Amino acid sequence: MSFIWKAKRIIKDEGLLSFLKIAGLTSVQFVASPYLSRKLRATTKDTELDELADIAFHGSLSIIEPFQIEDEILELLKLLKTREPKNIIEIGTARGGTLFLFSRVTADDANIVSIDLMSEKSGGGYPKWKSTLYRSFALKDQQIHLLNEDSHMESTRRKAEEILKGEKVDFIFIDGDHSYNGVKRDFEQYSPLVRKGGIIAFHDIAKPVPGSVEGVYKFWQEIIRKYKYQEIITDANQGWAGIGLLYV
């Protein structure tokens, strides 16, 4: 049902030609996904980070291409690799690119929870074949859990806690609702789960171009007054992206 709704929305907002292009690309991605899955499973924690990023950004037919600046996510990955976090929460699965990359820099027995809202309001989320692909990212003793829920709901946070069996979180990546109230809510919901010495990361902290959503940037400017922090921004004038780290 969500596919029909999404198709109607695209045709109405962008026209039939745009829908046919999107549908064609999706079909190609669906057919190519088993090959991509095998390609990704051939990588390990010993695979060079540059190679992993190249696959995600340029070698996946955009199936898992991250909504990131490549140099920025690489710097974050290098930091995480030195820490090998065991329990992590990602808010905003998107295409799954960051989920794949995080799986290669976390502990051998990592528990990874990725939360993404699947609803008509959010455009239908990702199709079921992508869920299968995303779970296949897990290495032998890792576990990847996909919560198709609203991250703002207390029930969603409780489900994440149950999955992690009450253990504290080493790393959280907040990249979901980019409105001010949305990112603030995600922070308030999940920051208490982070252990002392852990990291809370935000995407899109860079000053946005005029007229775009600036909720994350605004919240980031407020919250850094209370924490030791680090900013990963390639260019101060890039107008989007940027990763901010809070050290708990």
pTM, rounded to two decimals: 0.89
**pLDDT one-digit tens code per residue, 15-24:** 656 544 444 5
23 touches 35 (CB < 8 A): no
Please report how the helices 180-190 and 154-163 are oriented relative to each other, as an axis angle in degrees rounded to 10.
Answer: 40
Confidence of residue 32 (pLDDT cuts 50, 70, 90): confident
Range of the domain at 181: 2-247
Q: Which residue has the higher pLDDT, 15 or 154?
A: 154
Indicate if the pLDDT at residue 10 is higher than 80: no
Give per-residue pLDDT as tens, 173-228.
999 999 999 999 999 999 999 999 999 999 999 999 988 889 999 999 999 999 99
Q: What is the crossing angle of helices 215-223 and 180-190, to 10°?
A: 50
pLDDT, tens only, 33-87: 888 999 999 999 999 999 999 999 999 988 999 999 999 999 999 999 999 999 9
pLDDT band at 31, cuts 50/70/90? confident
- 128: CB partners within 8 A, 6+ apart: none
Residue with tokens 């609803």: 119
Q: Rounded CA gap, 94 and 202, in Å? A: 15
- Considering its fold, how many domains does the chain have in total? 1
CATH number of 15's domain: 3.40.50.150
The one-letter amino acid at 237: N
Estimate to the nearest angstrom the gap between the alpha carbon of 103 and the chain centroid.
12
Write the pLDDT tens digit of every residue in 90-144.
999 999 999 999 999 999 999 999 999 865 444 445 678 889 999 999 999 999 9
> How do residues 110-120 score in pLDDT, each as one tens digit?
999 999 986 54
Q: Please give the Cα distance from 164 to 123 (Å, whole number).
A: 29
